[in-house]
Amino acid sequence: MITKETIIADIIKAKPNAAQILMNYGMGCIGCPSAQMEKLEQACEIHGLDLEKILKELNEA
């Protein structure tokens, strides 16, 4: 299960379609060095995105 504490790189490894979901929300830097240590909560905050909405979509994928 993906949580707000899950690292972006780990999400992408666990769910192959997660990269596309995140890019659909405007997270274009999922391959950047920050993704290796940035939590989903931090990324959503930086990009001004709805964490709960993204969490729901990622966990349903």
pLDDT at 35: 75
pLDDT digits (tens, 9 = 90+) for 12-54: 999 989 999 999 998 877 777 777 889 999 999 989 999 999 9
pTM of the model: 0.86
Evaluate whether residue 1 is within a structural domain. Answer: no
Domain of residue 20, residue span: 8-60
Overall domain count for the chain: 1
Torsion angles phi and psi, residue 51, rounded to 5: -60, -50
List, in sequence order, the alpha helices (H) in 1-61.
Answer: 8-14, 18-24, 40-47, 51-60
Q: What is the pLDDT of residues 45-59, one digit of tens each?
A: 989 999 999 999 999
CATH of the domain at 45: 1.10.3910.10
